[in-house]
Structure formats: structure tokens, C-alpha cells
Structure 1
Amino acid sequence: MEILRYAAFSADPSGGNPAGVVLDATGVDGDEMLRVAAEVGYSETAFLLPRGDDRFDIRYFSPLAEVPFCGHATIATAAAYAQRHGAGRMHLSTRAGLIDVTTAFTPDGTTIATLTSVAPRTDPIVAADLAELLAALRWDSADLDPALPPRVAFAGARHPVIAAATRQRLADLDYDLPVLAALMARHDWTTVDLVWRESPTVFHARNPFPPGGVVEDPATGAAAAALGGYLRELGLVTPPAIVTIHQGADLGRPSVLTIGIPATPTSGITVTGPAVPLPAPPPALI
């Protein structure tokens, strides 16, 4: 099995979110995938199972567990596949549903991928759960932006969307990892999408990810898609709209995610970004 390593949502290997990529995992079972993901050590590793005619099954594993959908690993996988087999379209069957991905090369040779999420939805957060979440984050209600109400957003995975009133509140992240991990496990939350709105179409985000064994994700495509659905459903943008999300700067791995929000309420959200191979360690054969 050849394991590739890519950074998604950055054209610079020093930025973006690293992902492991296996372009052909035919015959590999879930236990072995989990072992490989733990060995790679990134927040997710994607395992592609070709079915022919640009159709694939794909599975995603953090070092601790399988997840139904991962945006940055999807972008990384599509870029790696395009660099081996040419740009085009891929139809990915995930445990969350069908994800279509397109790839293209820019004039300078950068590989760009765009995924279209499953139909998003947004649900309320029970007051007691919100109080417990804020306590785990060591935030209180005064830290929140009242124009962006807390919700649980879904576009392949579930993410509470919690909006900070200031950029400084977002920058000062010091949460109780064991408490937050237990809360997220009870509610099947993949990451917590902490955001600050710079302008109507520019956001900054941080994503605690204790269920994956990672303190924070530097770029979270699934949460970006969920945020797009949240913004549309709550009338916080006028679709069709393009929204830019800056993530990872506080970790020293700056990432840029571009989301497209169609006007149709049931349409999937598009998430676009570049991906580049990581220079070290080199691809391993196991």
C-alpha cells in the first residue's frame, strides 16, 4: 500500500492541513486502515477504493476512529489522483453520502479541487448542551456574537457552530480537552467550528478536534461546508454567495477555504482549495 502525504487548502507545503492518502486500498480492511492512520499520525487519512468509470468508495480514518466524511482529506485525495491520472471529475461514495469532486490545474501547475457536499442541515443546540460546551471551551455568553446564533450544522459530519464576538476571543483558545472530548462523543460532533466574522463573506475559524486525537485542525473542509449551510439556512448571506474562510493561522499553518453557497435550499455546498504534496517524510510502502 502506497501512502502519500498532502497538505490541503494551501499551495505551500508549510501551510494547510496534512492528510494521508492511499489511492488504491483494494482488499484493505477497516482494522488495517485504522492502524495505518495511527501510524501516519495526521488528523485524517483517506483510503480510496476504485470501482471504475470515475467512481470510488472512500473511507476516512483519524488516528483513533473512522469518520463518515472529511473535507481536507477529500481535497488531498482528489489532488493526488489528478496528479497521477489527470484532472477531471470523481464520484466518491462516502459513509455520509455521495460527494462529487472536480479537479483542475492552474497555469502555474497548482492542483485545485472542489467538492460538493451532501445536502446540509442546521439544528438547534439544547441550552444545557450549549452551557456545557461553553464551559469546556472556558467561554461564556459574553464571548459570543449575538448575530450568529449557536447551532449544530451538518454537511456530511456534525459540527457545533459557535461564533466569537472578537478575533481576540478566537485567538485565545485554551479548552478542557477531556471534558470537550466526552461531550462531543455523546453528541457525535466531529469538530467544534469556532468562527469570527470579519465581514459578511470573510470568516476566521478554529476547529478543536479531540475525537480525532488532535487538539486542533488547521483546515476543516467538512466544517466549512456545514458553515455554508448554516449561513444559508439562517439567512446570514444572500445566495448565491462565495465565502472565504481563513483557518490555521493561529497554529502556524495558514489555510484558505472557499465555499460556494447555491440559492437552492437543498443543494450541497461547494468547498474549494489547492493541495500540494508534502516533501517529508517521503511516501512509504507498507
Structure 2
Amino acid sequence: MKVHIYEVHAFTQDGQGGNAAGVVIQSEDAMLTEQQMLKVAARMGFSETAFVSESDMADFKVRFFTPSDEVALCGHATIAVFSLLQKLGRLNGRRDFVQETKAGLLRIKADAEEILMAQVAPDFGPILEPEEIFWSLGLSEDFQAAGLPVQIVSTGLRDILVPVSSLKALKEMQPDFEDIRQISEAHGVTGYHCFTLETGTSTGNPGQPSVTAWCRNFAPLFGIDEESATGTSNGALAAYLSAYGAVRGNDMRFVQGMWMNKPSLIKARTVWSSTARQAGGDKLEESGLVPNVPLDPEGAHENDIDTLGSKLQTVWVGGSASIKGETELEI
């Protein structure tokens, strides 16, 4: 059986960098088994490969596989899927879609420049002791950013968010992947999403506005030592930064993959239920900002992040993608 696979890079900047994903568009009369999907993902070797099929409850059903396991959701592969479908003319000029995933039914918006995906409602998990986490990164806990906790947060996949005090420390950390794998397994998370708010003024491109945070992501539990762009992790980061009052406003821009020579730009927007802001038209419409009031780290509760009576409802994550090639495998 031959399988046709597209290579699509998501969260690119000017068509460069980003994170590569495999995309397989399945026909109803040639559906792959779970073992075949895993075999394709392993042979292609991308951090994630997405398998698209018809859905009884949404516009498309998408399953995501790393080289070693299936995962419930993948942000960059979702951006890759809908960018590819758009370029192949499979979206028929529509802009609003729902995709079925193992993380639930999620909304998608597609336009000519970028794809936007709604995340699962934020879930704020336990705050962790920093010493073990920083030790596994080759750092002491003195490098933890002031006022921000090490915490498990999810907008689709659980990650440990690790606030680092400086860009230098983020760049020079020396992760012990076996330690990170064991800690991730013990806490039931995908991996670590490390970030610093010490960003400088831009992504390095004079045409780019200032960024919110620089990030690195480690997921050795799923066979990914480091990943150059992660949509779900940055969705969780946007929710976390907004809830703790670490940023002003609702729009954020995250840079990732810079030290992998795969510079990636991930955009995020938090949406609060008491505002008039909603997804609509060609872009997400703006109608004012919700003031951020820092939470007490000890008072963070799952699915109950309230700020001045406004609930953090969801996070949209988006970016651009480029098709880089296609191939066929015999399985």
C-alpha cells in the first residue's frame, strides 16, 4: 500500500524556519490502521505527523502521531493540515471549520495569510517545586524568573511551564533528556516548555513587532528532544502569562527554534468571556483589552481563572505555513 505524505512547515517567518509536520490526507476507501499510522510517523521522523479523514461530527477528523506514540493534539501539525487543505483547494473558500481530535472538537479559522486554531479551555494544574526541574536543565533554581511559578498548564496537552530569568540562561541551559523524560512521565505531561520574558526588542527581523517571550520546548518522553515550534505549549503559555498578569493585553507573539536554526513565530490571543471580543471575519476582531490582575500562585484553580470577574475562556493560536515537499511510502 502506498501512502502519500506532504511535508509542511508551520509557524514559519517569511516562509523560512518553522516546525516540520507530515500530513496524510486519507480517502474513505484507503484508511490506515493505527499501527500503519505509527509506522508512517516513525519512518518519516517528523516530531508529529497528522492523518486527516472524514468526520461524522466535524468538518475533518485529525489524528496526530510522534515517531513513537499517538498524542491527542498537536498545534503546529494542525496549522500544517489546514494550510495544506487550503492550498489544495479543499476548503472551498470557507473560513470557519471544526476539527475532531482526541482532545475534543476545536474551532479553526483559515485565511490567505495564516491559520488560527482555538485551544481547549485552559486547565491550570499543580505548581511544582523548582529545584528538580531546573536541575534537569543544568541550572540552579536561582534562574527561575521572579514572581512566576513552575506549573503544569494545558490548553490541549499538559506541559510543565518553566519561567527562566534571562535570555542567556535560556540559550545556554544544558537539558538532561533522560531526567526530563523521567520527570515528564512521573507528572503525566508531554514535556517542558521553557521561556523568558527577557526578549530584546524583536525577533531579529526589523519588520517584526516586539515579541512577548522566547521559548524552548523539550519532549523526550515522546521521542522529541527539542522542538522548534509548538502551538499547544504556547497556547498554555499565553493562558498562564495572562492569568498571572505577566503581560499587558491579550495579543502575544512567541519566538521558538532560534538556536535550532529554525526560527519560528507563534501568535496567540487570550479570549475572555465577559468581553465583546470574539472570533469573526477574516481576523479575530478586537474591542478593547481586559486588565490583568496577578493571581496568587497558591490560588490558581483548574478551569477557574478569574480576573476582575472575567473568565479566561480560551486561547487562539496561529501562524503561517509553507509546503516544502511530498513523498510516497510503501507500507
Superposition TM-score, scaled by structure 1 size: 0.90
Residue type at the aligned position of 1:43: S
CA separation in 1, counterparts of 2:322 and 2:227?
17
Residue type at the aligned position of 2:320: P
Cα deviation, residue 81, structure 1: 0.8
Question: Unaligned regions of 5+ residues in structure 2, if any?
Answer: 200-209, 274-310
1:257 aligns with 2:274: no
Task: Find the counterpart in structure 1 of residue 100 from structure 2.
Answer: 93
Report if aligned partners of 2:135, 2:141 keep a CA contact under 8 Å in 1.
Answer: no
What whole-Å deviation, never above 9, does each CA across 1:115-136 have from its counterpart, x for those lacking one? 0001012123232xx3322221
Task: Find the counterpart in structure 1 of residue 55 from structure 2.
Answer: 51
Question: Equivalent residue of 1:139, what SS?
Answer: coil
1:75 aligns with 2:76: no
Report if aligned partners of 1:38, 1:63 keep a CA contact under 8 Å in 2.
Answer: yes
What whole-Å deviation, never above 9, does each CA across 1:178-231 have from its counterpart, x for those lacking one? 121111122221131100103696110000121221210000101011111112
What whole-Å deviation, never above 9, does each CA across 1:82-107 have from its counterpart, x for those lacking one? 1112452221111111111111114x
Report if aligned partners of 1:46, 1:58 keep a CA contact under 8 Å in 2.
Answer: yes
Cα deviation, residue 137, structure 1: 1.2
CA separation in 2, counterparts of 1:126 and 1:206?
19
CA separation in 2, counterparts of 1:271 and 1:144?
26
Report if aligned partners of 1:99, 1:115 keep a CA contact under 8 Å in 2.
Answer: yes
Name which of 104, 112, 115 aligns with 1:105: 112
Cα deviation, residue 270, structure 1: 0.4
Report if aligned partners of 2:270, 2:312 keep a CA contact under 8 Å in 1.
Answer: no
Residue type at the aligned position of 1:137: L
1:132 aligns with 2:176: no
Name which of 280, 283, 286 aligns with 2:327: 283
What whole-Å deviation, never above 9, does each CA across 1:42-79 have from its counterpart, x for those lacking one? 10001112127961221111001111111000000010
Report if aligned partners of 2:165, 2:198 keep a CA contact under 8 Å in 1.
Answer: no
What whole-Å deviation, never above 9, does each CA across 1:210-267 have from its counterpart, x for those lacking one? 122121000010101111111222233345x100101111110000001011123242
Question: Unaligned regions of 5+ residues in structure 1, if any?
Answer: 107-111
Question: Equivalent residue of 2:229, what SS?
Answer: coil
Question: Equivalent residue of 2:76, what SS?
Answer: helix
Task: Find the counterpart in structure 2 of residue 109 from structure 1.
Answer: none
Query: How many positions carry a matched residue from both structures?
Result: 276
Cα deviation, residue 157, structure 1: 0.3
CA separation in 1, counterparts of 2:231 and 2:111?
18
**1:1-286 correspondence runs (5 A):** 1-12=3-14, 14-24=16-26, 26=28, 27-51=31-55, 55-84=59-88, 85-86=90-91, 87=93, 88-106=95-113, 112-127=114-129, 130-198=130-198, 202-239=212-249, 241-264=250-273, 265-279=311-325, 282-286=326-330
CA separation in 1, counterparts of 2:128 and 2:122?
19
Report if aligned partners of 2:151, 2:160 keep a CA contact under 8 Å in 1.
Answer: yes
Question: Equivalent residue of 1:51, what SS?
Answer: coil
144-153 or 243-252, which moves further after superposition? 144-153
Question: Equivalent residue of 1:231, what SS?
Answer: helix
CA separation in 1, counterparts of 2:211 and 2:54?
37
Residue type at the aligned position of 1:212: F
CA separation in 1, counterparts of 2:133 and 2:219?
13
Report if aligned partners of 1:12, 1:276 keep a CA contact under 8 Å in 2.
Answer: no
**Higher Cα Rg, which structure:** 2
Name whichever structure is richer in helix by fraction.
Answer: 1
**How large is the Cα RMSD of the aligned pairs?**
1.9
Report if aligned partners of 1:118, 1:156 keep a CA contact under 8 Å in 2.
Answer: yes
Cα deviation, residue 11, structure 1: 4.5
The percent identity for this pair of structures is 28
CA separation in 2, counterparts of 1:12 and 1:252?
14
Task: Find the counterpart in structure 1 of residue 281 from structure 2.
Answer: none
CA separation in 2, counterparts of 1:202 and 1:157?
21
Cα deviation, residue 28, structure 1: 1.4
CA separation in 2, counterparts of 1:235 and 1:11?
28
CA separation in 2, counterparts of 1:46 and 1:275?
15
Report if aligned partners of 2:266, 2:319 keep a CA contact under 8 Å in 1.
Answer: yes
CA separation in 2, counterparts of 1:156 and 1:53?
19
Question: Equivalent residue of 2:191, what SS?
Answer: coil
